Amino acid sequence: MKSNIYVYIFVMALATWFMRVAASLVMKKPITNRFFQSFLYYVPYVTLAVMTFPAIIDATQSPLAGAAALIVGITAAWFGAGLFQVASFCCLTVLVLELFLC
């Protein structure tokens, strides 16, 4: 039987929220274990890197445009461009390149 769609949405939201707060429920102070500290130090960068590549190449109509956006984004961020600037550069790169590629 199909669940009521609103019950379904509510359960999805609650389950997602629980993942967000799970650590807060068990952690009372910073962990002092060296390995765990180092592990958590790397987690954010590794997660975002894994999610960026190769996904950026699959996101665009032409994989080449996605790859170019990645390179442009890395270069811009390396030389100090901010969040919005880097995102804009990436979008523009794809927009311009796909005029020729697609």
Question: Would you state the structure tokens that stand for residue 62, as one six-digit string?
Answer: 């032409």
Amino acid identity of residue 76, one-letter, is A
CB of 71 to another protein, least distance (A): 10
CB of 35 to another protein, least distance (A): 5
Binding residues for another protein, rule CB under 8 A, total 81
Residues 6-35 that bind another protein (CB under 8 A): 6-13, 15-25, 27-31, 34-35
- Per DSSP, the chain holds a count of helices (H) and strands (E) of 5, 0
The residue written with tokens 């929220």 in the block is: 17
Other beta carbons within 10 angstroms of residue 63's beta carbon come to 14
Residues 37-76 that bind another protein (CB under 8 A): 37-56, 59-61, 65-66, 69-70, 73-74
